[in-house]
A and B are shown apart, each in its own frame.
Chain A
């Protein structure tokens, strides 16, 4: 069945360093969403990408959707301690059910 693989599982960075998490799907996706979950909290929607090759920016966060619509990445420039949490991607195929990646847990050392 369809899977969305996400790497790395964990990332420890020093404050100010960059961070990237990657998601790969075995099949073409109709769209992909990104969520952030703070420790002890619930997932919070960050962004949705729909178009092939799409790049969107939110302040220090840059989201990309691959040309083949099978992979996506989230890049954070100059991490801050407020970026701590787990970042999930969630892919849809034919705008049907969501397939969540396993998440990347980000820890930022001050």
Chain B
């Protein structure tokens, strides 16, 4: 158990819909990262927040947005969903040494 929690574990929705994925970092970690992992693919970096502020953006679509709240939990919002958005979405929090601790992931299926 990494100490990072993600909800929900599974999500099934339809094209065109909007979903929100939630992540709670390890206690004391200020950084949250979001990644997308498609079937049998590597990890695509989406976005990084540090103490409520956006630090870096990766290959994140305009239909996707994220934020980190004052209590440090983070949400990833995915809108106008397409079939190709089906994937495993991981969040990770990091300690001051930049070691990343990954949550169990949210598996999103868009039908």
Are B45 and A100 in contact, with the CB atoms below 8 A? yes
B: interface residue count bin: 20 to 34
With A100-B45, A101-B42 known as contacts, the answer to whether A45 contacts B58 (CB < 8 A) is no
Answer whether A102 and B99 are a contact pair too, CB < 8 Å, given A42-B2, A97-B48, A97-B58: no
**Secondary structure type dominating chain A contacts:** strand
The complex places the Cα of A6 from the Cα of B41 at a distance, in Å, of: 12
A33 close to B42 (CB less than 8 A): no
A31–B98 contact, CB under 8 A? Answer: yes
**CB neighbours of B55 from chain A (8 A):** 96-97
Q: Is the interface of B mostly helix, strand, loop or mixed?
A: strand
Which of A88, A95, A98, A103 lies at the interface centre, i.e. has the most chain B CB atoms within 10 A of its CB? Answer: A98
* A/B pair count, beta carbons within 8 Å: 54
Residues of B close to A19: CB separation below 8 A: none
A-binding residues in B (CB < 8 A): 2, 33, 35, 41-45, 48, 55-58, 90, 92, 97-105
Please tell me if the beta carbons of B90 and A42 are within 8 angstroms of each other in the complex.
Answer: yes
B44 contact set on A, CB distance < 8 A? 100
Chain A residues packing against B (C-beta within 8 Å): 6, 31, 33, 35, 42-45, 48, 88, 90, 92, 95-103
Inter-subunit contact B42/A92 (CB<8 Å): no
**Residue in A44, A92, A101, A102 whose beta carbon sits within 8 Å of that of B98 in the complex:** A92
Q: CA–CA, A35 to B44, complex, Å?
A: 14
Report B-chain residues with C-beta under 8 Å of the C-beta of A97.
45, 48, 55-58
